[in-house]
Structure 1
Amino acid sequence: MKRTLSATLTFCAIVSGLLVLWQAIIVFGELPRYILPPPLAVLAKFQTAHAMLLEEALVTLREILAGFAMGAVFGAAAAIFIAAFPRIGRFIWPVLVVLQSFPVFVIAPMLVLWFGFGIASKVVMTTIIVFFPVASSFADGLRRTDPEIVAAALLDGAGHFEMLRHIRLPLAMPHLFSGLRIAAPLAPLGAVVGEWVGSAGGLGFLMVQANARMQSETVFAAMLILALEAVLFRKAVDLAAPFFTRWSHED
């Protein structure tokens, strides 16, 4: 309880300090409202347009959830396949590394052309962004099983797939969740970038429309909601991790 209270107070102090700094920049920098709106204006936007903000936030949240789930499943499946069939994995892994270095934001317009302006293109964009950190972290964990444990299992007569199922997979679960922790804050980014390129709804769509009208308080309100979704998503992964890694030692 003391640790939770301390973390809460620290978080509140940081947020308060940032708000004071935000207001000070506006006052002393004499910035116009359309460049940097004051915190109270953003708060007022939450009060006057809460229904619209909630509706668009739910659209983006559905895209994030679907894309994160698909990216996590495909990433974990790719890592397991590479570990199960190492000879094939030697050819697949370099391809994945090359694809990971390719800027996915460049193909965002093509995804909109291929999958349309609906939810599908945003889900695919989010899936691609989530896939690589999950696959990379999980595959690394599957490769780094303690050699002493592997040797003991081999002496006990364990086969390749038995070792993968009963030893390597459980011990690699912390690495899987490390990848999920990295991917969690990136998933909202993928959805919003897809909405920026072409969409009929969502926080990204709202930000583009508001920016074109110089409604900066709406843009900042959407940004804050997006940041909140990213933080809650990361927290959800942290809360789920202990239930899947009880038999492993993370430290």
Structure 2
Amino acid sequence: MKVNWKKWMEDYGLFLLAVLVLISGWEWVVRRGSIPPFILPAPSAIWQSLLDNRDLLLQQHLPATLKEVVIGFALSVIGGVLLGAGMHFFRVLEKILYPFIVISQTVPLIAISPIFIMWFGYSIWSKIAVTILTAFFPVVVSTYDGLRSGGEEYRELLLTMGANRWDIFKQLQIPMAMPAFLSGLKMSVVYCVVGATIGEWLGASEGLGYFSRRMSGNMQADAVFAAVFLLSLLGIVLFLFIAVLEKLLLKKNFQ
């Protein structure tokens, strides 16, 4: 896929300039002693911490978090699509499940995470459970709302041509639902990073969330920020991956 660098700079040039100014100002403020480095380390100190801990971060903790995110995201997508499509097809199922799905998002993760630890122990599945609880809601809602948004005029046209409910679902409702569904995926994949981090903070032996908690206890602020930087970068990369997938799928569907 060819990149139009001129358009890219028009879209993101000001953002990059703002980031450069922010990092420069941050470095200057910390170096002149206005903020103690144990509260807010300088960007250069964070970068040095990344270099010093790169083997530990990149070979042990980042892969552990990525594994939790990928498994949690995959299960969230599968469960969310099945629930969203099921509620679309069966009105009774919608009346039963939709309130429970909304209620699940009102439960504080900090409060329910210890329950998952009691159920699954300190294994990867306690972190995946937190990740799923965080990430499946956007998939369910975007799938359900997307399927309901199919154009009524097109539906009536297909009915007059003898189409059955499956034909309408496949030929009309799925393509019409794709923009909403893919938007839900972009939110969900970012929430997966948040959920995995929370799960690691509350009970884990590896992962970026665990690393940042351990470094926080040791008052190593630069290492904490290094882990936060990698978590943010992971979320951005996954978001961009879904965004590229969205562009390719929508281009294919609406050609």
Report the TM-score, using the length of structure 1 for normalisation.
0.93
- The answer to whether 1:216 aligns with 2:233 is no
Aligned residue runs from structure 1 range 148-227, under 5 A: 148-227=153-232
AA at the equivalent of 2:253: W
2:249 maps to what in 1?
A: 244
Aligned residue runs from structure 1 range 10-25, under 5 A: 10-25=14-29
- Checking the alignment, whether the CA contact within 8 Å between 1:84 and 1:161 is kept in structure 2 is no
**Alpha-carbon offset, residue 176 of structure 1:** 0.6
- The answer to whether 1:53 aligns with 2:57 is yes
Runs (5+) with no aligned partner, structure 2? none
- Checking the alignment, whether the CA contact within 8 Å between 2:31 and 2:42 is kept in structure 1 is no
AA at the equivalent of 2:150: T
Paired with 1:86 and 1:162, the residues of 2 have a C-alpha distance of 19
Paired with 1:42 and 1:104, the residues of 2 have a C-alpha distance of 29
Paired with 2:115 and 2:128, the residues of 1 have a C-alpha distance of 14
Of stretches 131-140 and 238-247 in structure 1, the one that deviates more from structure 2 is: 238-247
- Checking the alignment, whether the CA contact within 8 Å between 2:104 and 2:133 is kept in structure 1 is no
Paired with 1:81 and 1:150, the residues of 2 have a C-alpha distance of 19
| Aligned counterpart in structure 1 of residue 7 of structure 2, from 3, 6, 27 | 3
**Alpha-carbon offset, residue 27 of structure 1:** 4.6
AA at the equivalent of 1:32: P
- Checking the alignment, whether the CA contact within 8 Å between 1:171 and 1:248 is kept in structure 2 is no
- Checking the alignment, whether the CA contact within 8 Å between 2:150 and 2:176 is kept in structure 1 is yes
1:133 maps to what in 2?
A: 138
Paired with 1:109 and 1:32, the residues of 2 have a C-alpha distance of 34
- The answer to whether 1:41 aligns with 2:48 is no
| Aligned counterpart in structure 1 of residue 239 of structure 2, from 234, 238, 241 | 234
C-alpha RMSD of the superposition: 1.8
Runs (5+) with no aligned partner, structure 1? none
Paired with 2:33 and 2:95, the residues of 1 have a C-alpha distance of 56
AA at the equivalent of 1:102: V
**Alpha-carbon offset, residue 169 of structure 1:** 1.5
| Aligned counterpart in structure 1 of residue 69 of structure 2, from 64, 68, 84 | 64
Of stretches 197-206 and 175-184 in structure 1, the one that deviates more from structure 2 is: 175-184
1:146 maps to what in 2?
A: 151
Paired with 1:174 and 1:105, the residues of 2 have a C-alpha distance of 32
**Alpha-carbon offset, residue 28 of structure 1:** 5.8
- Checking the alignment, whether the CA contact within 8 Å between 1:184 and 1:233 is kept in structure 2 is yes
Report the TM-score, using the length of structure 2 for normalisation.
0.91
Paired with 1:180 and 1:66, the residues of 2 have a C-alpha distance of 14
% identical equivalent positions: 29
**Alpha-carbon offset, residue 29 of structure 1:** 6.2
Aligned CA distance change for structure 1 residues 248 and 93 (closer, same or farther; 3 Å) = farther
**Alpha-carbon offset, residue 193 of structure 1:** 0.1
Paired with 1:46 and 1:52, the residues of 2 have a C-alpha distance of 10
Aligned CA distance change for structure 1 residues 165 and 87 (closer, same or farther; 3 Å) = farther
Of stretches 226-235 and 58-67 in structure 1, the one that deviates more from structure 2 is: 58-67
- Checking the alignment, whether the CA contact within 8 Å between 2:117 and 2:126 is kept in structure 1 is yes
